[in-house]
């Protein structure tokens, strides 16, 4: 069965907002199921990610113009209105009346005539009054202003304003609201930079080597990278830029024994193996059995032979032999990848940060037991919450005097990371640098 962009979009956002689904999984599933044309694919993707990103902003406006609060509406009506308003306010290519008519059709199809009439009334009212839309005043109430205008939950805005100040928080929110860039990591085991660039250009892509960060390229003009022959041949891996930095900072050497404690789907495991030129040994540990095949598939595709996978809880796993280097790329709140997964804004709660920080500390305590004397351990997360980052390390260091924090300033310089992203010797990348993500990278050394 074929469905159009708006039908796919409403089914996706309904699942994400009302049934706790994940945007990428839901959208990909529906795009395949409904045999969507490539033009509609692009619009459906924009509608889903855009309306999830701007949800608070849209709800604020809807609450000004509808005679029923968004919270009180039924799930379909609420999300149909969000999609309609997103087109009116943020998609210049779609004239307001067209957006309105199309949204009314959705309401008829997924609800009933009564809902369609309500949707029509609300959207026409907004269309007539677009110039009078106002948000809470920045000076009077910065938190509410940022919360609704830039569309973030109150608790995140409050935390960031405290940590970074008002203007920096606005910059961070703005950057997280941009469409994420596509970054790939060249597989140095299989191909040179020049060859990869030529191949991808021949496939119609635009590709740019990222200065100072080995193996990293920014690509554009192509949306389904995993369909390319070059991807299938293992010549590159799709990975965030900051995530690529993690492997470079751990810097494993040929022939070493390395532990990756939280390894699925294997992005960093495979990078470490590439840096080791397939020589040595990597143990890729992961809690979830169902993710192990992903690691194995990635290793196979990329031509990596030195990885052994195992399913164990990283908080309890034991080893007979120690490791030269360890990576603890811990499960985290993911606040740094909001641009890729905007529903994180609405799903994560402050108590999750607390629970996760406990898990992260336990992983670090257990993982670090297996590091050789003189060995190095990298702790990383894709979040910007201090409680999950520097505070976890400080709690660890307070009880483990055989470890010290390695000052990453000079390594960071080598990768062109500005000093404002270094805190207490560790790297806290914000979405205002080279990529619209946030990432934390710290290194510990065992002294005795």
Ligand X SMILES: C[S@@+](CC[C@H](N)C(=O)[O-])C[C@H]1O[C@@H](n2cnc3c(N)ncnc32)[C@H](O)[C@@H]1O
Query: What count of other Cβ atoms lies within 10 Å of the Cβ of residue 206?
Result: 11
Distance CA(405)–CA(446), nearest Å, equals: 9
DSSP code, position 183: E
Does position 235 interact with ligand X (CB under 6 A)? The reply is no
**What is the closest distance, in whole angstroms, from the C-beta atom of residue 371 to ligand X in the complex?**
16
137 is an annotated ligand-binding site residue: no
Could you tell me which stretch among 78-86, 130-138, 264-272, 367-375 binds ligand X (CB under 6 A)?
264-272
- Encoding tokens for residue 229? 């022959």
The 236-238 sheet, strands edge to edge = 206-209, 216-220, 182-186, 236-238
Mark residues 331-370: x for contact with ligand X by CB under 6 A, - for none.
x---------------------------------------
274/286 with CB nearer ligand X? 286
The 10 Å CB-count burial string (b at 16+, else e) for 122-148 is bbeebbeeeeeeebbeeeeebbbbbbb
Distance CA(182)–CA(45), nearest Å, equals: 15
> Three-state DSSP class for 209?
strand
- Encoding tokens for residue 7? 């039908």
Residue in 384, 396, 395 with CA at minimum distance from that of residue 423: 384
Catalytic annotation, pick one of 100, 299, 332, 382: 382
Does position 288 interact with ligand X (CB under 6 A)? The reply is yes
299 as an active site residue: the answer is no
Does position 319 interact with ligand X (CB under 6 A)? The reply is no
Among positions 142, 180, 266, 280, the unique one binding ligand X when judged by CB under 6 A = 266
Does position 262 interact with ligand X (CB under 6 A)? The reply is yes
Could you tell me which stretch among 22-30, 54-62, 309-317, 440-448 binds ligand X (CB under 6 A)?
309-317
Q: Please work out, in degrees rounded to the nearest 5, the angle formed at the alpha carbon of residue 347 by the alpha carbons of 219 and 265.
A: 45
**What is the closest distance, in whole angstroms, from the C-beta atom of residue 380 to ligand X in the complex?**
8
Residue in 429, 445, 428 with CA at minimum distance from that of residue 437: 429
Supply the Cα-derived Rg of the chain in whole angstroms.
23
**What is the closest distance, in whole angstroms, from the C-beta atom of residue 195 to ligand X in the complex?**
25
418 is an annotated ligand-binding site residue: no
Among positions 185, 268, 325, 443, the unique one binding ligand X when judged by CB under 6 A = 268
267 is an annotated ligand-binding site residue: yes
Does position 303 interact with ligand X (CB under 6 A)? The reply is no
Could you tell me which stretch among 5-13, 68-76, 176-184, 262-270 binds ligand X (CB under 6 A)?
262-270
Which residues belong to the annotated binding site? 262-268, 286, 313, 329
Catalytic residues: 382
Footprint on this chain of ligand X (rule: CB under 6 A) = 243, 262-268, 285-288, 291, 313-315, 329, 331
């Amino acid at each position: 069965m074929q469905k159009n962009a708006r039908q796919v979009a409403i089914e996706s956002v309904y699942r994400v907002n009302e049934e706790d689904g994940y945007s990428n999984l839901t959208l990909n599933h529906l795009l395949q199921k409904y045999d969507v044309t490539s033009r509609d694919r692009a619009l459906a993707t924009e509608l889903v990610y855009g309306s999830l990103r701007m949800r608070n902003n849209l709800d604020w406006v809807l609450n000004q113009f509808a005679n029923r609060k968004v919270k009180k509406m039924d799930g379909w009506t609420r999300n149909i209105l969000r999609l309609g308003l997103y087109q009116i306010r943020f998609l210049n290519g779609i004239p307001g009346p067209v957006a309105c008519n199309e949204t009314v059709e959705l309401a008829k199809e997924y609800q009933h005539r009564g809902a369609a009439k309500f949707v029509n009334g609300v959207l026409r009212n907004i269309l007539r009054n677009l110039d009078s839309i106002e948000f809470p005043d920045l000076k009077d109430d910065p938190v509410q202003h940022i919360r609704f205008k830039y569309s973030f939950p109150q608790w995140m805005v409050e935390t960031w304003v405290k940590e970074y100040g008002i203007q920096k928080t606005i910059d961070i929110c703005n950057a997280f609201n941009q469409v994420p860039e596509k970054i790939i990591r060249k597989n140095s085991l299989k191909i040179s930079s020049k060859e990869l660039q030529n191949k991808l250009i021949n496939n119609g892509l635009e590709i740019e080597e990222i200065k100072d960060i080995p193996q990293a390229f920014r690509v554009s003009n192509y949306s389904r990278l995993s369909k390319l022959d070059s991807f299938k041949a293992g010549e590159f891996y799709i990975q965030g830029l900051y995530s690529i930095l993690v492997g470079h900072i751990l810097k494993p050497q040929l022939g070493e024994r390395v532990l990756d404690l939280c390894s699925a789907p294997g992005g960093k495991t495979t990078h470490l193996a590439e840096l080791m030129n397939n020589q040595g040994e990597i143990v890729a540990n992961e809690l979830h059995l169902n993710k192990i095949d992903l690691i194995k598939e990635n290793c196979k595709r990329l031509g990596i032979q030195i990885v052994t996978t195992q399913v164990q809880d990283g908080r309890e796993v034991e080893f007979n032999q120690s490791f030269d280097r360890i990576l603890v790329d811990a499960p985290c709140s993911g606040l740094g990848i909001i641009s890729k997964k905007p529903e994180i804004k609405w799903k994560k709660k402050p108590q999750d940060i607390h629970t996760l920080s406990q898990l992260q500390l336990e992983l670090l305590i257990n993982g670090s037991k297996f590091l050789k004397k003189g060995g190095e351990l990298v702790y990383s997360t894709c979040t910007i919450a201090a409680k999950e980052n520097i505070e976890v390390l400080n709690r660890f260091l307070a009880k483990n005097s055989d470890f010290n924090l390695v000052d990453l300033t000079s390594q960071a310089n080598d990768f062109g990371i500005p000093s404002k992203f270094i805190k207490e010797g560790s790297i806290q990348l914000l979405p205002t640098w080279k990529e619209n993500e946030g990432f934390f990278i710290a290194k510990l050394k065992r002294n005795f």
